[in-house]
Amino acid sequence: MVMAGHFHQPQTGVRILDEFTYLVGLLGRGVDLFFVLSGYLVGGLLLKEYRDTEKILPGRFLLRRVFKIWPPYYFLICFHLLARHHPARTFFWQNFFHLQNYLGSSLRQTWTLSIEEHFYLLLALVFAFAASRRFKPATILKLCAALSLLAFVARSITAALGNYDGAMRWTQNRIDSLLFGVMLALLYYFFPGVYARLTARAYPLLAIIGLSMLGILYVDDPLLFLGPGLVVIYLAAGAFLLLVNQHSGRLTEWWIYRAIAWIGVYSYALYLWHSVMLGIGDKVIARFPALIAWVLAPAIQFAGAVAIAFLTTHLVEWPFLRWRESISWLRDTTPLGT
């Protein structure tokens, strides 16, 4: 979804195709699904540790994230520095210190990663404190809800002051979607009865997704979108997560489901590297008739991004994960990709 929203496509002059291109551009909102899914999976690692051991080791958790996130990320930064695709002043120090969501960056996609880095540092410390005080799961759930409300208020104030970019990108304004994923993980690990009731039937989840998306399509006011609009989007993302998690059924046997799952193995590298294909997409658009480029440009961008992701995952990401698993006190039974 994020790649579809970022990849370049030409205007064809054919109304139905250009309207489809516009709708595909809206898929860039997949970043909110990414935040909810991340909170559910990565935050769930801390919650599972708390459930199983009644304690949380923040240093171990954060170091495991360092092995996962930093080697591919800094490899990307060094690549752009050496390739000189962007002036160094437009991205290097901002990304090096994970401040690109505040200071801006010519690497357009990495602002979300800085939010992730800030959030999981905060989450690990807060959850470690909660574990040391033997907070009950219900108390942790209320704490997450309170922090989500504060993030919503902060974002709404920032937007009301006219800083729409800050409302969208600053960490304190966006962690409610991540916290929503964490709250879903809390229900999964500590309140299985509530989780089961929420996911018992597919139709209510489908209704939430459909109504939310229809509503967002007609929201033009930036204050409305950046305030309750983003809440509606991450609620829909959570409903989609639950739908896939609980109601995939025989869909898991379909080739397209398996293909998406295979692509998901390389999702982090795709996130990092897909933007290098934008220039190639522009060249295709410039050299071919609009109708041909409308099909060819996104296909080439997508295929190229998958190829680069495949190589960098095998050459950079996975060797460091294997190194991590060779260290006894960092070893875990979670899958290689986490």
Residues 252-282 pLDDT 10s: 889 988 998 899 999 999 999 999 999 999 9
Nearest to 277 by CA among 310, 306, 305, 312: 305
- Region 116-131: mean pLDDT is 95
For residue 178, the tally of other CB atoms under 10 A from its CB is: 32
Distance CA 32, CA 104 (A): 19
Write out pLDDT tens, residues 284-323. 999 999 999 999 999 999 999 999 999 999 999 999 999 9
- Region 173-196: mean pLDDT is 96
Angle at 141 between CA 186 and CA 168, to 5 degrees: 90
Please give the model's pTM, rounded to 2 decimal places: 0.92
Are the C-beta atoms of 131 and 54 separated by less than 8 Å? yes
Model confidence at 28, in pLDDT bands (50, 70, 90)? Answer: low
Model confidence at 172, in pLDDT bands (50, 70, 90)? Answer: very high
Distance CA 205, CA 82 (A): 47
- Region 19-34: mean pLDDT is 77
The answer on pLDDT for 334 being more than 90 is no
Distance CA 159, CA 226 (A): 7
Alpha carbon of 250 to those of 37, 88, 93, 247, 258: distances in Å? 22, 49, 48, 9, 12
The answer on pLDDT for 336 being more than 50 is no
Average pLDDT, the chain: 91
Q: From the CA atom positions of the chain, what is the Rg in Å? A: 21
- Region 35-41: mean pLDDT is 95
Distance CA 112, CA 260 (A): 22
Nearest to 323 by CA among 336, 311, 307, 309: 336
Write out pLDDT tens, residues 12-22. 888 888 888 77
The answer on pLDDT for 335 being more than 50 is no
What confidence score (pLDDT) does residue 21 get? 79
pLDDT above 70 covers what percent of the chain?
A: 97
The continuous run of DSSP H or E covering 35 comes out as helix 30-53
Nearest to 189 by CA among 58, 61, 50, 60: 50
- Region 212-224: mean pLDDT is 81
Nearest to 285 by CA among 35, 104, 21: 21
